[in-house]
Amino acid sequence: MVPSLKPVDRPAGLADQVYATLRDYLGSHVIRPGQRLQEAALALQLGVSRTPIREALARLESEGLIAAEGRSFVVPVLTEADVDEIYELRGMLEPAALAQVAVSIADPKALSRIAAALQDAEAADRRNDAGPFIEANARFHAAWHDLVANRRLLRALALYAGHVRYLRVLTLNNEAARKAALAGMKNILTALRKRDGERATRVMRDHLRVARQYLRQVLDDIEREAATDGKAAPIVRPM
């Protein structure tokens, strides 16, 4: 008699993979504000069942990256108030997190990924190539985040990471903003190499202040272009 067989489990972490894929699409503007996300359509496009799609969408909603609307979800358009809140939170968390990394580094080799990402960003800047620069910038920040010892602090940083990536892509398509970001990245790495917590706090605050200034400029440009072209909705709407 054939022994009873257990059903084959679905691949472990499939919902996590779907979640990461959709989060990446949101951050890189493949899925844009105002678009609707429906389980059936996403399941068909990603080649999975609706269950991992449903789980991934629930996680994205809990992070504020999408919002429930009827039987589907929609990618919300960020308001100026949303952006201000995100940068306020960044200003509270990231200087403290970077300072923690600076004083806790025991092996200089731990900074190798950060340095490599900075080198790639410098090369992309010399070519005036926005795409690779944005990718290198994302790797730079991910690399120092990975050195944060406080896991709860790291989870807090991750809560708004999708929004930050979205805004970063928006800003770093501007050449002047890339130059400013590169200067900030160099200052961050210098502070980490010196293991100077106070300096790390200061340079991260400066980095965020400059990033917010360029974001405001980019959003103003988008709004002016939309008004000139007669187009509706800017990517970030005022309240």
Give residue limits of the domains in the chain.
14-74, 78-237
Q: Is the pLDDT of residue 112 over 80?
A: yes
Q: What CA–CA distance (Å, rounded) separates 165 from 138? A: 8
Residue 114: the pLDDT is: 97
Residue 229: the pLDDT is: 62
Residue 11: the pLDDT is: 52
Place of tokens 């389980």: 39
Residue 10: the pLDDT is: 52
Residues constituting the chain: 239
78-237: CATH superfamily: GntR ligand-binding domain-like (1.20.120.530)
The mean per-residue pLDDT over the stretch 9-19 comes to 76
DSSP state of 21: H
DSSP state of 3: P
What's CA 213's distance to the chain center, in Å? 18
Residue 238: the pLDDT is: 38
Flag whether the pTM goes above 0.85: no
- Residues forming beta bridges with residue 69, ordered by sequence position: 72
Q: Which CATH class is domain 14-74?
A: mainly alpha
Q: What CA–CA distance (Å, rounded) separates 158 from 144? A: 13
Token couple for 2: 């054939």
Between 221 and 185, the higher pLDDT residue: 185
